[in-house]
Chains A and B, each alone.
Chain A
Amino acid sequence: RKEVEQDPGPFNVPEGATVAFNCTYSNSASQSFFWYRQDCRKEPKLLMSVYSSGNEDGRFTAQLNRASQYISLLIRDSKLSDSATYLCVVNRPGTASKLTFGTGTRLQVTL
């Protein structure tokens, strides 16, 4: 089983739609979780950290479910500019410095 798994997509949604991505992780001892956004051929950029109680940043909501070992990202009122690949990132327990990146879920928002 991969350390971090994501549905590669693509998710094609109309502007204004709500879309959700899930990501599962294999190590129950993982403590740090992030969503990064990557535009085509560009560097990954932090979208948001994921906290145990869940957190929201404008149209974006991140949730963590430790029991089922998955994190989710919800995007409300999708914009064309949300089109990108969304990377799920989890720290590797026992190694203070290592992060494991999922392969990403591609989102395409259309008119």
Chain B
Amino acid sequence: EAQVTQNPRYLITVTGKKLTVTCSQNMNHEYMSWYRQDPGLGLRQIYYSMNVEVTDKGDVPEGYKVSRKEKRNFPLILESPSPNQTSLYFCASRAATTGRQPQHFGDGTRLSIL
């Protein structure tokens, strides 16, 4: 089954404790992306990757890091999480690097930073 898998689904942690949210897709998609969703603000792009070893900032990259060592994986790293990073996070992938292809989203990761 074609899917985007995120882990963990839920995480409550404390300020400053490094965490990683994993994302994996089994569709051999080139393009992967991370979003955060907050009430009233919609989905905002954090980082994206157009292929292995190619990553770029989205609209709200501050406080986040990503890596793309393999095509299927695109982890999101919070080196020193802060309460303003409490949010619902989605990983997404799509087949092509152009914007004409629809994106497939993971189930989401709900992060609470205390």
Contact = CB atoms under 8 A, between A and B. Distances in A.
A98 B58 contact: yes
A44 B99 contact: no
**Range of interface residues on chain A?**
20 to 34
Contacts of A46: 102-103
Interface in B19-77: 31, 33, 35, 40-45, 48, 50, 58
Contact of A91 (B42, B50, B100): B100
Interface of B: 31, 33, 35, 40-45, 48, 50, 58, 88, 90, 97-100, 102-103, 105-108, 110
A111 interface: no
A52 to B, nearest CB: 12
The SS class assigned to the A binding surface is: loop
A95 B57 CA distance: 12
Nearest to B105: A43
Contacts of B110: 41
Contacts, number: 55
Contact of A31 (B33, B48, B99): B99
Contact of A103 (B31, B41, B99): B41
A96 to B, nearest CB: 5
A103 B48 CA distance: 20
Contacts of A87: 42-43
B100 A44 contact: no
A91 B108 CA distance: 22
